[in-house]
Structure 1
């Protein structure tokens, strides 16, 4: 029986790439292209640590130099897996589950490594939500997120649910630091790319029950159900760190941005207006404290 193994490997559900002992990429399948945005011809021959996927953990700590699971597997031959965030070609972060395995020659010597990675961003759910919002005119056309109208409606629903059933929730209010400077220095097209990258990273850190949207300009709001203060702080810090460790490449330049965040839990006396105002004031406290930080209160 003849089996077309290459077609199978190209179209499995996971991204797959192979590297030699120096971690130079020798193979990159079609699913890897879909998940990362990089075509095979853009990466084959380059080393995976050379500013391509730029893997970080959930705290934003780099894994490419000294903490790379694939590098460790090539060194000792052990299989490894980990949940990490890779950087898409467009600049946003994508959560993936990676599994590293050694490659051997016919004599059993390790000659490189293989990494499978699964997209954990619930992209199908995001696509479904985008389609729903688009039909209802609740979609922000630039970022493909919920717009302010939908966020306000959802806030009123969450307040009503809290008052009736005691269902708690929290919100995070996020602003891109020095965004006017980005538009002034690079133009509005690049500014839109920054907004899209930040928005996608924000959405990719969310649970299915959370709603992330664009409030206006460079401001974003997240509504998180069933969360306590520690969980709210963790969610805010995660997106802050991932944005900080990401970048956008434009005409040979590398552009990095940061975000400031304010977060708060709903209290028994809150209205939709009061919780937004409190989160907004906490956001500006982050701005006053030097930006690129989170203030939860």
Structure 2
């Protein structure tokens, strides 16, 4: 069981059956959880092992759990709820359900008496509470919450992000947002789509600070916009070229070609078909001004150099 990545102090077990290549066992764990364990047949401790939560299997199926019932298995949610409260998220649970499992984590939804809802993330290997994801931000987990009004929650959250973006100096009436993965529980990374505007960005919010990158500089900083089209950034790049006395270049294409620890580089093509340029921007700055201007010949050592069609050397 441990080899399969599950945390289980086994209280009971039974053999389910053996097929041509695999054997199946059920284990019941202290605390109410249970698992179906799949091993090679004949069983070999050196062989592959798959361990899946009993909650994945319907009662009465060819493979199902009998040593513990679904209600008992969901008692783990009460333990997670206590841990969530200690971490600052309180919920008087009205209803709960299992959502899904990945190799690293299990996910459970809770609906609260106050109308709010969350998805609790549990680390599979230790059984520990990882985080509480508000339903407004949980669309990436199995389609999100189903026991609370996620649309209302998302509308409320969009307004909240509009205010946070404004405080960070990025005016945006948030119409749509999407959560990006982060390993830092104290940080939210959110893509924002602004209502009535082609502009969008990637916001990085903490409890005390906020920063919003436009979709051009976001990519230099390791993020990528999916709601905003690339060509909406061309006017900004054209304006930046004016600062280097290159007003004749109306940007018609662009791509990030590389970065260092302090600077990111953008190749641009001009609509007149003449050779384009490379602009350098500081990393980690929300509204960076271009600080460097290079020809494609000068930039040939950066990320393989210019590759847009009109910027390639003529044969």
Q: TM-score, normalised by structure 1?
A: 0.25
Larger Rg: 2
Give the structure with the larger helix fraction: 1
Asked which structure has the greater RCO (Cα within 8 Å, sep 6+), the reply is 1
Give the structure with the larger strand fraction: 2
